[in-house]
Amino acid sequence: MEMGQEFSADNRASFWARGFAIIIDGLLMGLLTQIIQYIILSIFPLQTGNAGSAIGFFLILIINLIVLPFLYYVPLMKRRGQTIGKILMQVKVINADNTEGLKASTIILREFFGKFVSSFVFLLGYIVYLFGKETWHDKIASTRVISIK
């Protein structure tokens, strides 16, 4: 599919394809998080009263909660509209006007702020998709997820 290509409005991705893509991405992020945590803790071991412990803990938080997700989601979504989970599940994020080419600001808004909002109240922002509504993070970022099978 060419960049800038328009898609029809009737190829909406299924709830389950989206859900499994999230699970796959979560497993990959979890694995990367564990590797990074192991490396940091081998440099700054956790010990009571040790300043290095505080530095290690802070680094783990910043890298795992901000840096790693940013480095995973933004480049992949900007290039293809897909993370590894979305590639495997054959779904893609596009703009609400059915065009490709997500801006970095759109990706950040969707993946960080929007997904936080969708998750905040018992995952209600995700569950609404089961009833034919757009997820809250898609509404916030003016995106939609399509099946590319």
> What is the pTM assigned to this prediction?
0.86
pLDDT of residue 5: 63
Q: Percent of the chain beyond pLDDT 70? A: 93
**Terminal Cα distance for the chain, rounded:** 12
H or E segment at 145?
A: strand 143-147
pLDDT, one tens digit per residue, over 101-141 is: 999 999 999 999 999 999 999 999 999 999 999 999 999 99
pLDDT at position 4 is 55
Whole-angstrom Cα Rg for the chain: 18
Look at residue 42 and give its three-state secondary structure: helix
Query: How confident is the model at residue 10, as a pLDDT?
Result: 73
Q: What is the mean pLDDT of residues 44-50?
A: 76
